[in-house]
Chain A
């Protein structure tokens, strides 16, 4: 370690200490910024202390990263990871330079598992040669901020090209990941839970993107679709098809809003969160674990003994109501949430909240690509809309065939809204800043404690 990097690290650590202990403020961006300003090569300097796994993609990064962390820890590794939300360069640098890295109990090199924003993959990969890139999925996501999926993938490839030795472990169910010119070894995970006799070849619905064959840009056909553009695809015009999967979900037993049970490569598993999309997150963590020689039994234990990490879907009690809060931010995520609601056996009510601040995405047009019409296939008994853009949602749901809605223009009425529902179970689907406001209201009313 050079003197410069030692000073950079020490400065970042004291800044972190000052922010957290004295000012009680979270965040690792400022320490990261300070460290880089003292030693621009700080990341390169510290890379020899650990192996790096980069997790990137549109949906599910945070939970997947948390799961991988627990899985690797169960396998005896010391793991460094970044807190949710600080997935850009400054925050990641801050995390890496302020964490004291202990040796792994299993004697192997510690592993840094980092959730990295798609646009920041190249910077991180250029500085610290990763051992592995984990690609979860690529969907349209707030195009006003992130741009188009092929452009996003190009940015990821630019990062991959900095580390030709790294393994690219990708979701094989996503055709876009078969694209890209890079020499790296590729491995795939995906779903194989449907028997060939039950295949029902279909094309993806029109609100799906990323469905073109990388060979001739024809529209792909799927033997089955799990959700969005994910599934077992093939080309009708040539012999392009989904690649061989190294890790696969072989069986899905139960899907409920609260948990799922399924098999990966013969190991029966259970996760304490609903939604098929979360099985993908578990599959990803399983695949990474196996790549680092964590045993299936250890992975199973990691999932079962860490139920609290599935907390992104938050369950709270408001008087006699069982309230589940879910974040929505793009069409695929919202459709997945609606699919999960289809597995709800009890009657429920739904409150949808839409804001259009920067963190939500300022373009609300995506709500028209979310299939709210599918709510007709659920046990939903009442629906209400709110948030700063309640008008957009009100009309969206009205045109989806839900003319009777309670409309809450002001989030201060949130507790009233929840209590007014006719069912005991209540789901709240909110965009990011609407969720923050919601939490503030619920906190003020004493239904949740602490910050976010």
Chain B
């Protein structure tokens, strides 16, 4: 029996879960359980309604190009609610394709341009973009380490993407690249932070290898729902998995 609970939406989890993204929810649930919080999981997929007021955390993972084009069409119907969720400071983790589709657009490896929902200000071109100054025509694949400049935390992961994302106004990077490539291989940024939205190219998945970030986001979600409790303090008392 737990006294507290949070509701988690997994956006298109049956189509956009290509690199173990669900692991982020496993990690979140793992930490939540230790402080007496249960997690209600809900898949929100094609044709489903996403109601921004129903959720305390949202995961939007990455998918294969084919599925991503199908998701992009459906996502338009959810755009307004997702925007409200974000602007109301709802915590959200967007990985890879999910990160790209929240921005203005993305260009796939074959040159096909897919509209995002533009609820955030970044955009994504592809590895053949003429404006790239490094690593043209190459996927950005390998281990990556970044440093969160707000918190000084270091995050470890694995990146594998051909897309090149450029952050927009009001967006700052999740971290500065220490080793690896990051958003575009050029500007040393990796991922995004905007309000309580965290975007990243990390597989790994990011919460499993970086318990510090998982706990931070969990504390944000809980404080938004149960502001009277010091969640950060509670979370500080349990062991963090980082490797």
Q: How far is the CA of A400 from the CA of B26 in the complex (A)?
A: 8
Q: How far is the CA of A148 from the CA of B18 in the complex (A)?
A: 9
Q: Is the CB of B22 within 8 A of A369?
A: yes
Q: Is the CB of A207 within 8 A of B17?
A: yes
Q: Is the CB of A396 within 8 A of B64?
A: no
Contacts A150-B64, A217-B70 given; indicate if A365 touches B14 (C-beta within 8 A): no
Q: Is the CB of A368 within 8 A of B67?
A: no
Contact among B14, B22, B27, B158 for A203, CB-based, below 8 A: B14
Q: Is the CB of B158 within 8 A of A364?
A: yes
**What are the interface flags for B158-175 relative to A under an 8 Å C-beta threshold, 1 for contact and 0 otherwise?**
101000000000000000
Chain A: minimal CB distance from B35 (Å): 15
Q: Is the CB of B203 within 8 A of A148?
A: no
Q: How far is the CA of A228 from the CA of B204 in the complex (A)?
A: 22
Contact among B18, B64, B66, B243 for A392, CB-based, below 8 A: B243
B66-102 interface with A by 8 A CB criterion = 66-67, 70
**What are the interface flags for B17-28 relative to A under an 8 Å C-beta threshold, 1 for contact and 0 otherwise?**
111111100110
Contact among B10, B15, B18, B158 for A140, CB-based, below 8 A: B18
Contacts A143-B160, A399-B27 given; indicate if A365 touches B70 (C-beta within 8 A): no
Q: How far is the CA of A432 from the CA of B66 in the complex (A)?
A: 29
Residues of A within 8 A of B203 (CB): 363, 365
Q: Is the CB of A365 within 8 A of B23?
A: yes
Q: Is the CB of A367 within 8 A of B20?
A: yes
Residues of B within 8 A of A217 (CB): 70
Contacts A368-B208, A398-B241, A399-B27 given; indicate if A206 touches B22 (C-beta within 8 A): yes
Q: How far is the CA of A360 from the CA of B137 in the complex (A)?
A: 25
Q: How many chain-B residues does the 8 Å CB contact rule pick out?
A: 33
Chain B: minimal CB distance from A250 (Å): 30
Q: Is the CB of A219 within 8 A of B158?
A: no
A253 touches B (CB below 8 Å): no
B45 touches A (CB below 8 Å): yes
Contact among A219, A363, A392 for B19, CB-based, below 8 A: A363
Q: Is the CB of A211 within 8 A of B14?
A: yes
Residues of A within 8 A of B23 (CB): 365, 368-369, 396
Q: How far is the CA of A364 from the CA of B143 in the complex (A)?
A: 10
A262 touches B (CB below 8 Å): no
Q: Is the CB of B20 within 8 A of A218?
A: no
A362 touches B (CB below 8 Å): yes
Contacts A206-B43, A208-B14, A219-B46 given; indicate if A362 touches B22 (C-beta within 8 A): no
Q: Is the CB of B27 within 8 A of A207?
A: no
A397-411 interface with B by 8 A CB criterion = 398-400
Contact among B17, B204, B209, B241 for A369, CB-based, below 8 A: B17
**Which single residue of chain B is at the shortest CB-CB distance from A216?**
B70
Chain A: minimal CB distance from B76 (Å): 15
Q: Is the CB of A212 within 8 A of B70?
A: yes
Interface-central residue, A150, A207, A211, by most chain B CB under 10 Å: A207
**Which single residue of chain B is at the shortest CB-CB distance from A364?**
B158
B194-240 interface with A by 8 A CB criterion = 203-205, 208-209
Residues of B within 8 A of A365 (CB): 19-20, 23, 158, 203-205
A149 touches B (CB below 8 Å): yes
**What are the interface flags for A146-173 relative to B under an 8 Å C-beta threshold, 1 for contact and 0 otherwise?**
0011110000000000000000000000
Residues of A within 8 A of B241 (CB): 395, 398-399
**Which single residue of chain A is at the shortest CB-CB distance from B239?**
A398
Chain B: minimal CB distance from A164 (Å): 25
Q: Is the CB of B46 within 8 A of A369?
A: no
Q: Is the CB of B26 within 8 A of A362?
A: no
**Which single residue of chain B is at the shortest CB-CB distance from A373?**
B26
B116 touches A (CB below 8 Å): no
B125-154 interface with A by 8 A CB criterion = 141-142
A107-161 interface with B by 8 A CB criterion = 140, 143-144, 148-151
**Which single residue of chain B is at the shortest CB-CB distance from A211?**
B14
- State the A residues within 8 Å of B (CB): 140, 143-144, 148-151, 203-204, 206-209, 211-212, 217-219, 362-369, 391-392, 395-396, 398-400
Name the 9 nearest CB pairs between A and B, nearest first: A368-B20, A368-B23, A365-B203, A365-B20, A148-B64, A391-B243, A150-B66, A206-B13, A365-B19
